Structure 1
Amino acid sequence: MSMLGRNPGEMPFLDHLEELRWRALWSLLAIVVGAIVGFILVDRMEAMTLLIRPIEPFLEGGKLKYLSPTDPFFVTLKLSLIAGLVLASPIVIYQIWSFLAPALMPSEKRVIVPALYMGVVLFLGGVVMSYKIVLPMTLRFTMGFQTEFLEQSIVIGPYMAMVTRLLLAFGIVFELPVVILILSALGLVTPEFLASKRRHAVAGITILAAVLTPGDVITVTLMMMAPLVLLYEFSIILSRVVTRRRRVAEAAAGAQA
């Protein structure tokens, strides 16, 4: 049983710190193991090939360049660390959840646990959409300028940094419904507030999409805006459901009191 679930009189502050320390150590160990697995995936199992494949049509039969003898190793290492963080994220989230769960109400737990599973699906959906649709369109747009004057010499480091930023950005922003669902379950936001801020949300989504997608405004940026606006509307629906249940539970608790 977690220390947070005991009687407050039996919970010295140092016990909280001890539990937090162990959960942080388990999370760190998971990241290290994930990075080792990520290194194997990148170096031995075609993960690098998948990331390079979108730009291959533009290389005209050539290969990506590198400028330093250490570049291939450090690129592999950075990708391994990113893969390690992604692979270890379920364990890290579980450790955070185990530390915080005893302080939550049963009704809040019933909402947050499914939300975490939904978050995994949404993250993967954002990454797949970015890889299959947005990244190829971004490359076609950005590499179509001044081709009669410039000769390409694409370096592996900057290319991989751009690709991983784009994939992770889409994965993270697709977590919007999960964030709003959890905030609604905790009573920090309401569907009325979200609906009243719809225009502000659309403006913020437009700016975010323009920053994260360096491509044609009519195509690439709009392709990120459209799902984000839909996800925001979906978030309002989820917030209504969760808030209604929370208010019913609070009314029932008040009647019993």
Structure 2
Amino acid sequence: MSDVIDKAREAVQERAELPGMSLMEHLTELRARLIRSSIALVLCFFVAYIFHEKLFAIVTAPIDALHYPLNYTHPTDPLNLYLKTSLYGGAIISAPFILYQIWLFISPGMYSNEKKYVIPFMTATVALFFGGAYFGYHWVLPSALKMLIGDFGHRFHPIITIEDYNSFFLSIIFGLGITFELPIIIFFLALFGIVDGRFLVKHMRYAILIIFIIAAIICPLPDPLSMCLFAAPMLVLYALSVGVAFAVSPKKKELPA
């Protein structure tokens, strides 16, 4: 851990010597990026709301396949569900633009040869998130519903509210989508010199232990084989992250005069 802290300090000190903006200029730039991202999110929200019925059908398809109706306990619950679904849909549509705004904000603190990663960063971030969401939507969520309602709850009459289902849906879809962003996180840590490929290989046994703990938490089935099937994609992602770290870990750079 001390090695990571030392590397982080060196990376911060090294980049602090690069020419940059003042604090007020950074705050002004951040404000502009936040305003543009917010406008994009609002516009995409309205676009998504036009198709809220179709989005709702996509969200509820896994539980509809089990023929369990959704219930609500408050008159505003259906409207809130449509609004939330449209908001999440708008966030997904506007994500590339928002990510680009994030990149434009952090790019002044990067070396010129590091800025070439913008297109791979954008593409990989979106692709990995959708990969994790797809994995959760088509395998994890249906299996979890079938086990929890069909196997453990078959003796009881399920009363599933739309709020409960929506929370369960989002925890799996967004949780796995974010989990699949591991190579991107490692990419930036390696890019800034905080970790490198050798560090990740050295501590691989701890990473494997953490991955299996996460797999045991999110796996809807109790048997070890199912847990291994859920851990397998994360192990592949960690291996990919090691390769990314070796590819982008900076050598000791000579600062420009």
Question: Displacement of 1:181 after TM fit?
Answer: 1.4
2:44 & 2:215 partners in 1: Cα distance? 30
Identity across the alignment (%): 31
Question: Displacement of 1:96 after TM fit?
Answer: 1.6
1:189 & 1:218 partners in 2: Cα distance? 32
User: Is the alpha carbon distance of 1:23 and 1:161 closer, same or farther for their aligned partners in structure 2, counting shifts above 3 Å?
Assistant: same
User: Is the alpha carbon distance of 1:12 and 1:237 closer, same or farther for their aligned partners in structure 2, counting shifts above 3 Å?
Assistant: closer
Quote the residue 2:152 is aligned against. 145
Question: Displacement of 1:57 after TM fit?
Answer: 3.1
3-state secondary structure, aligned to 1:233: helix
1:112 & 1:202 partners in 2: Cα distance? 30
Question: Displacement of 1:232 after TM fit?
Answer: 0.2
Aligned match for 1:22, one of 14, 27, 32: 32
Q: Quick check: 67-76 or 11-20, which moved more?
A: 11-20
The one-letter amino acid paired with 1:145 is F
User: Is the alpha carbon distance of 1:112 and 1:217 closer, same or farther for their aligned partners in structure 2, counting shifts above 3 Å?
Assistant: farther
Aligned match for 1:186, one of 192, 202, 209: 192
Q: Please list the CA deviations of residues 165-212 of structure 1 after superposition, one character each: whole Å capped at 9, or x if unmatched.
A: 211111111011111112112211111110111111111112222333
TM-score, length basis structure 1: 0.84
Aligned match for 2:48, one of 29, 38, 62: 38
Kept in 2: contact 1:135–1:166 (CA 8 A): yes
Kept in 1: contact 2:55–2:85 (CA 8 A): no
User: Is the alpha carbon distance of 1:184 and 1:100 closer, same or farther for their aligned partners in structure 2, counting shifts above 3 Å?
Assistant: same
Structure 1 spans left out of the alignment, 5+ residues: 1-5
Q: Structure 1 residue 58 and structure 2 residue 66: aligned?
A: yes
Kept in 1: contact 2:55–2:86 (CA 8 A): no
Q: Please list the CA deviations of residues 73-118 of structure 1 after superposition, one character each: whole Å capped at 9, or x if unmatched.
A: 0111122222222222222211121122122002222235412311
Q: Please list the CA deviations of residues 110-148 of structure 1 after superposition, one character each: whole Å capped at 9, or x if unmatched.
A: 23541231111111111111111111111111111142x
Kept in 2: contact 1:65–1:153 (CA 8 A): yes
1:49 & 1:77 partners in 2: Cα distance? 14
Quote the residue 2:92 is aligned against. 86
Aligned match for 1:163, one of 162, 169, 174: 169
Q: Quick check: 116-125 or 226-235, which moved more?
A: 116-125
The one-letter amino acid paired with 1:74 is N
Aligned-residue CA RMSD in angstroms?
A: 2.3
User: Is the alpha carbon distance of 1:191 and 1:30 closer, same or farther for their aligned partners in structure 2, counting shifts above 3 Å?
Assistant: same
Quote the residue 2:228 is aligned against. 222
The one-letter amino acid paired with 1:157 is E
Q: Please list the CA deviations of residues 204-245 of structure 1 after superposition, one character each: whole Å capped at 9, or x if unmatched.
A: 1122223334443435543331100111011111211222xx
Report the count of equivalent residues.
239
The one-letter amino acid paired with 1:210 is A
Q: Quick check: 108-117 or 129-138, which moved more?
A: 108-117
Question: Which 4+ runs in 1 deviate beyond 4 A?
Answer: none
Q: Structure 1 residue 73 and structure 2 residue 79: aligned?
A: yes
Quote the residue 2:55 is aligned against. 47
Structure 2 spans left out of the alignment, 5+ residues: 1-17
3-state secondary structure, aligned to 1:18: helix
The one-letter amino acid paired with 2:239 is E
TM-score, length basis structure 2: 0.84
